[in-house]
Structure 1
Amino acid sequence: MCTKLKYLALVMMSLSPGMATADTIIDNVLGYTLIGTQLQQFQALAFDDAGKIIATGKSAELAARLPMAKRVDGGGKTLLPGMIDAHGHVLSLGASQMQLGLRATANLAEAQKTIADYARRFPLNQWIIGGEWNQANWKLGRFPTAQEIDAVVKDRPVWLSRVDGHAGWANSKALQLAGITENTPDPSGGKIEKDAHGKPTGILIDAAMSLVSKVVPPASNAEQRTALDLALLELAKVGVTSVHDAGVSESADKLFREYADKGKLTTRIYGMLRGTDGYFDKVSLQGPLLTYGQDFYSLRAVKLFADGALGSRGAALMAPYSDAPHTHGLLFKTTDEMHTMIEKAASKGYQVNVHAIGDAGNHQMLDGFARLPATSANLRHRIEHAQVVALDDIPRFKQLGILPSMQPTHATSDMNMAEDRVGAERIKGAYAWRSFLQQGSRIACGSDFPIESPNPFWGVHAAVTRQDMAGKPAQGWYVNQAMTVQEALRCFTLDAAYAAHQENTLGTLEAGKWADFILIDQDMLNMPAKDIYKIKVLQTWVAGKQVYSATR
């Protein structure tokens, strides 16, 4: 047989059933994936030119089945499905890397020094923008004040958001530009903190933050692109191959579509439109965007807000705060108003995902979802955070088909103040992952970055140990609510995919799904749980293409 005929015969064999050519086989790996509820191991993963998985299995078997495939040695490392962050803020992650950060400051004096240093480094910035401050870490016993920024920067406006994003700290210049005085009333769903003489202190909570943010110059197109580039790089570095973006604006939607068109997205984005008015009214005329750009982008959900955050006492509680009996926190809307928004989004086919932290906020949202037609459950509506839930309300998530979308690192970040806020009884329904899992709820895990780190292994560590990275508390904080390692892997992969209607294309390494996977330096399923946060990502692959390597 001539050479050309031999070659043609080989090509025809490769196209025969069971002999389809795979571009690549990653072998010599310790591979794990969930198939249903079962954890399976494999030695090799094969995928085709289009970036779809052909099979997993033993190296020799895949090599025999796919003799023309390119072979990549996995070096004996652990291979997992790409991690999915079910709640993050993509552009905010990138922007946070360009702004002033106070997360690492140990006290107010250190924060003031950091602000002053930043102001000196960037003398041309009209505004000093940033945040991530946490007065609980500073042991102040109170919020900081405008005068405490004025002491180091008074000639330029300064606007710094709290670590949870639900309170802002302004200096006097920023308050002046926003027109905030002792006569400015609290907006609906917000609070202007005032001193004993009725003067604004510089702290604005929840909806009141917009009084300042609306006078901050918007990011330019170039700044938004830089922020997206920085965010995608960071997400690839920590092994996040898909993220649910909790609050997509018009400009962000256009930017994500542009990047998808140009093949520049290296992390898949499942978008939640911000609110049910404005841009929603325009874009919803075409209905939900189920998939776009080879499944790299979709816009089929809406993000709403029931209340604020626990740290700033903006989360809505049924009874007063245990450490501040004068306040219950804030419900942003009446139940009727919230139901109108939910029904509007759901009637147009959108999944409704509502931020609810306090037990009153969660209760209001459950009541709102209960008023929807039974068929609406197919949209897989979610409560984002589900952080403090009345014990009687936990079963209602399962009864109503509402998915709890939760962030494990919030528990270990909040444990220094959470019980002070809600007391010994209400804490039983707080960060209650085990209670949800035992009733059969599927938890979608995320980080809420940049409020927390986007590193999913920090999330797995928190979910499994209920400890900080110093191993405290020694026995774990309410460790009866901890997950197993396999449960934590599931909530960052398959169940996060389910919460985005993507379980048939993402979340596990099965034939026909996208080849989104990571190589890591340790065997997460068989290592001391206390060390899981130390895991390093060696490679990240999305749709069969390597988008990150630790060696580059």
Structure 2
Amino acid sequence: MFVVNLFCATTVFAQTVLFHNVNGYTLTGQPGNEAQLQQFSAMLVRDGRIAAIGSVSSIRGSFDFEIDEEVSLNNKTVLPGIIDAHGHVLGLGLNLMEVDLRTATSEADAVARVREFAEQNPNADWIVGRGWNQENWESRSFPTANSLDEAIPDRPVYLTRVDGHAAWVNSIALSRATISGATVSPDGGDILRDERGNPSGVLVDNAMYLVEQVMPKASRELQTQAIELAFQHLLERGITGVHDAGIDALNLDIYKSLADNNKMPVRVYAMLGANEPTLPQLLAQGPYTRSDERLTVRSVKIYADGALGSRGAALLEPYHDAPDQRGLLVTSPDQLHDLYQLVIPHGFQVNTHAIGDRANRLALDEFARAYATVGGRNLRHRIEHAQVVHPDDLARFKELNIIASMQPTHATSDKNMAEDRLGKERMQGAYAWNTLLEQGTIIAAGSDFPVELADPFFGLHAAVTRQDRDNQPEGGWYVHESMTIVEALRSFTLDAAYASGQEQTLGSLEPGKWADFIVLDADPFVGDSTTLWDQKVLATYVAGETVFQR
């Protein structure tokens, strides 16, 4: 038996390891409001699972088997591994390889970045990027193809908005997709037009597919590379598990191959995309999970509407800042009904993207109809985002046993435009975390990366303060809907595990569960909440093994 100082040497783990000098926190007990926060100073890991937490003396007094190794964590803070309950792994990996426009300050700035990327990648057939947000520009106007045409006149350009629900393209891309002034916007989509009726260069929701279908598809090799790149990015930020919100058959096959070859350092709870052509066949195969729980598939992601920033979120009443628009239903009510009826009898959880109050109401109505026809109330169905909910519908989440899968940084990113889109009166049911928690609804928190940055401490900070990382606005934005630090941590750990049906083995550092945990440079429960976002992950462990170390 010997002692290893984690921060001075690389540790190779034996079968039974005692971690001591730990400033540990974990939720214990049942998910939801009854869970309790427990502190501990030592942790025993045996065969990749937690055997005990407590003090060194209590652990030594309770077990008679030999401890193979002792590891001092130098009184650093330990938390359960973070579970991001809504992200897009392949999208994140590809985004890390493309031009990033998240911090662009204007259309001209974005174009300059695209031009620079194009010059650095002369052999790229298409210039692809993501992250622009016109709401962060002084003009607050959608960009146009004209500016891209001047900068990149010889290659098609396709740039996804930060929310993934609109694309900015140049004229070559429009031409490749044969989009002209005579092209009719598809159902659930919108081709924005200039004053002459010609395409302006911005495509919303289903209109994006007109260009996407003529773009070259990422090869299996490139997708695998992107996924592995994303895994490392997540581990560096303390994320040990992710609920991947919508994958196709190829993505699933890549995951299975990686898992079979022990190349899944992050646990993935994958949602099959409802638009996958082979969905009926995949459902017929039944839920899939591995004994090591590195990959689990027993849910389906359905898009009901678009996003608020691009005015694609489906609203019951017109947009406050665009009285002629009510948003878009990406999936028609009839299709939504048919999908619920298809998916639930196979024992799969339904996870419906719904941002606007109309989309949320439709999703709730369909859950109620499904319970009355095909059952499935016990499958822990979810509404992804649940951003704008009519006040009359909030209680239905509890009544229908629906999990609210929400992303705290969406509120702090949207605060500069949400009131413009909705008007103050309709903000009552928007980003209503505390209201949902108080009625006993489970909130599973995530980031929606790459829409938002993947760092979970940005999400914890937003949940507690309702402020951005500049701590604006002063006092918080609709701060009465904030979470406590315990509620926020729970939503990223134990309650996220509940949302995937894995709370018996994941989400907390309790005996019998997998030893997925992170080591931090500071204690998030001590000090000013305004600095919560500025946490550094020193090490990440999955099943007791080091998968990242700073």
Q: TM-score, normalised by structure 2?
A: 0.94
Q: Say which SS state the counterpart of residue 392 (structure 2) adopts.
A: coil
Q: Say which SS state the counterpart of residue 423 (structure 2) adopts.
A: helix
Q: Say which SS state the counterpart of residue 97 (structure 2) adopts.
A: coil
In the alignment, what sits opposite 1:443? 443
Amino acid aligned to 2:315: L
In the alignment, what sits opposite 1:54? 51
Q: Say which SS state the counterpart of residue 372 (structure 1) adopts.
A: helix
In the alignment, what sits opposite 1:513? 513
In the alignment, what sits opposite 2:362? 364
Whole-angstrom CA distance in 1 between matches of 2:231 and 2:299: 21
In the alignment, what sits opposite 2:257? 258
Larger Rg: 1
Whole-angstrom CA distance in 2 between matches of 1:108 and 1:257: 41
In the alignment, what sits opposite 2:386? 386
In the alignment, what sits opposite 2:399? 399
Mapped contact 1:166–1:314 kept (Cα < 8 A): yes
In the alignment, what sits opposite 2:330? 332
In the superposition, relative to structure 1, how do residues 72 and 369 fare at CA in structure 2: closer, same or farther (>3 Å)?
A: same
In the alignment, what sits opposite 2:304? 306
How many residues are paired up?
A: 528
Amino acid aligned to 1:170: V
Amino acid aligned to 1:252: N
Note if 1:32 corresponds to 2:25. yes
Mapped contact 1:241–1:268 kept (Cα < 8 A): yes
Whole-angstrom CA distance in 2 between matches of 1:446 and 1:527: 24
In the alignment, what sits opposite 1:498? 498
> How far is the alpha carbon of 1:373 from its aligned partner?
2.2
Give the alignment's Cα RMSD to 1 decimal: 1.2
In the alignment, what sits opposite 1:133? 132
Whole-angstrom CA distance in 1 between matches of 2:386 and 2:367: 14
Note if 1:89 corresponds to 2:103. no
Mapped contact 1:276–1:345 kept (Cα < 8 A): no
In the alignment, what sits opposite 2:485? 485
Mapped contact 1:247–1:273 kept (Cα < 8 A): yes
In the alignment, what sits opposite 1:238? 237
In the alignment, what sits opposite 2:434? 434
Whole-angstrom CA distance in 1 between matches of 2:429 and 2:67: 55
> How far is the alpha carbon of 1:68 from its aligned partner?
2.6
> How far is the alpha carbon of 1:277 from its aligned partner?
5.2
Q: Say which SS state the counterpart of residue 307 (structure 2) adopts.
A: coil
Note if 1:44 corresponds to 2:42. yes
Mapped contact 1:405–1:445 kept (Cα < 8 A): yes
Whole-angstrom CA distance in 2 between matches of 1:181 and 1:48: 64
Mapped contact 2:249–2:276 kept (Cα < 8 A): no
In the alignment, what sits opposite 1:297? 295
Whole-angstrom CA distance in 1 between matches of 2:69 and 2:278: 46
In the alignment, what sits opposite 1:16? none
Whole-angstrom CA distance in 1 between matches of 2:332 and 2:146: 35
Whole-angstrom CA distance in 1 between matches of 2:346 and 2:529: 44
In the alignment, what sits opposite 2:152? 153
Whole-angstrom CA distance in 2 between matches of 1:94 and 1:345: 29
Note if 1:196 corresponds to 2:192. no
Whole-angstrom CA distance in 1 between matches of 2:314 and 2:199: 22
Whole-angstrom CA distance in 2 between matches of 1:277 and 1:220: 17
Give CA deviations for 1:380-429 in whole Å, capped at 9, x if unaligned. Answer: 11000000000000000100111110000000000010110000011111
Mapped contact 2:271–2:299 kept (Cα < 8 A): yes
Whole-angstrom CA distance in 1 between matches of 2:66 and 2:522: 30
Whole-angstrom CA distance in 2 between matches of 1:455 and 1:60: 36
Whole-angstrom CA distance in 2 between matches of 1:427 and 1:134: 21
Whole-angstrom CA distance in 2 between matches of 1:70 and 1:307: 53
Amino acid aligned to 2:318: P
Whole-angstrom CA distance in 1 between matches of 2:128 and 2:19: 44
Mapped contact 1:387–1:431 kept (Cα < 8 A): yes
Mapped contact 1:394–1:436 kept (Cα < 8 A): yes
In the superposition, relative to structure 1, how do residues 293 and 168 fare at CA in structure 2: closer, same or farther (>3 Å)?
A: farther
Amino acid aligned to 2:57: A
In the alignment, what sits opposite 1:346? 344
Whole-angstrom CA distance in 1 between matches of 2:520 and 2:341: 43
> How far is the alpha carbon of 1:331 from its aligned partner?
1.5
Mapped contact 1:88–1:244 kept (Cα < 8 A): yes
Q: Say which SS state the counterpart of residue 367 (structure 1) adopts.
A: helix
Whole-angstrom CA distance in 2 between matches of 1:145 and 1:257: 41
In the alignment, what sits opposite 1:225? 224
Give CA deviations for 1:451-489 in whole Å, capped at 9, x if unaligned. Answer: 111111100000000001111101100000000000000
> How far is the alpha carbon of 1:279 from its aligned partner?
2.0
Mapped contact 1:260–1:293 kept (Cα < 8 A): no
Mapped contact 1:33–1:39 kept (Cα < 8 A): yes
In the alignment, what sits opposite 1:11? none
In the alignment, what sits opposite 1:526? 526
Give CA deviations for 1:179-222 in whole Å, capped at 9, x if unaligned. Answer: 10111111111011111211000100000000011111011122
In the alignment, what sits opposite 2:541? 541
In the alignment, what sits opposite 1:3? none
Mapped contact 1:63–1:69 kept (Cα < 8 A): no
Match runs of 1:451-462 below 5 Å: 451-462=451-462
Q: Say which SS state the counterpart of residue 505 (structure 1) adopts.
A: coil
Mapped contact 2:16–2:66 kept (Cα < 8 A): no
Amino acid aligned to 2:317: A
Q: Say which SS state the counterpart of residue 73 (structure 1) adopts.
A: strand
Whole-angstrom CA distance in 2 between matches of 1:242 and 1:279: 26
Moved over 6 A (4+): none
Mapped contact 1:261–1:293 kept (Cα < 8 A): no
Whole-angstrom CA distance in 2 between matches of 1:420 and 1:84: 32
In the alignment, what sits opposite 2:11? none
Give CA deviations for 1:335-387 in whole Å, capped at 9, x if unaligned. Answer: 23211111110011110000000000101111111101264111111000000
Mapped contact 2:357–2:388 kept (Cα < 8 A): yes
Amino acid aligned to 2:26: T
Give CA deviations for 1:38-92 in whole Å, capped at 9, x if unaligned. Answer: 111111111112x111111102332453543310111110011000000000011
Whole-angstrom CA distance in 2 between matches of 1:249 and 1:467: 35
Give CA deviations for 1:213-262 in whole Å, capped at 9, x if unaligned. Answer: 11110111221121011101011000000000001111110011111111
In structure 1, runs of 5+ residues without a counterpart are: 1-20
Whole-angstrom CA distance in 2 between matches of 1:215 and 1:309: 24
Q: Say which SS state the counterpart of residue 268 (structure 2) adopts.
A: strand
In the alignment, what sits opposite 1:109? 108
Moved more, 279-288 or 402-411: 279-288
> How far is the alpha carbon of 1:333 from its aligned partner?
3.2
Whole-angstrom CA distance in 2 between matches of 1:72 and 1:25: 6
Whole-angstrom CA distance in 1 between matches of 2:492 and 2:82: 6
In the superposition, relative to structure 1, how do residues 40 and 305 fare at CA in structure 2: closer, same or farther (>3 Å)?
A: same
Note if 1:470 corresponds to 2:504. no
Whole-angstrom CA distance in 2 between matches of 1:362 and 1:68: 52
Mapped contact 2:386–2:404 kept (Cα < 8 A): yes
Mapped contact 2:304–2:332 kept (Cα < 8 A): no
Mapped contact 2:248–2:276 kept (Cα < 8 A): no
> How far is the alpha carbon of 1:325 from its aligned partner?
0.6
In the alignment, what sits opposite 2:315? 317
Amino acid aligned to 2:297: L
Amino acid aligned to 2:310: S
In structure 2, runs of 5+ residues without a counterpart are: 1-13, 30-34
In the superposition, relative to structure 1, how do residues 277 and 152 fare at CA in structure 2: closer, same or farther (>3 Å)?
A: closer
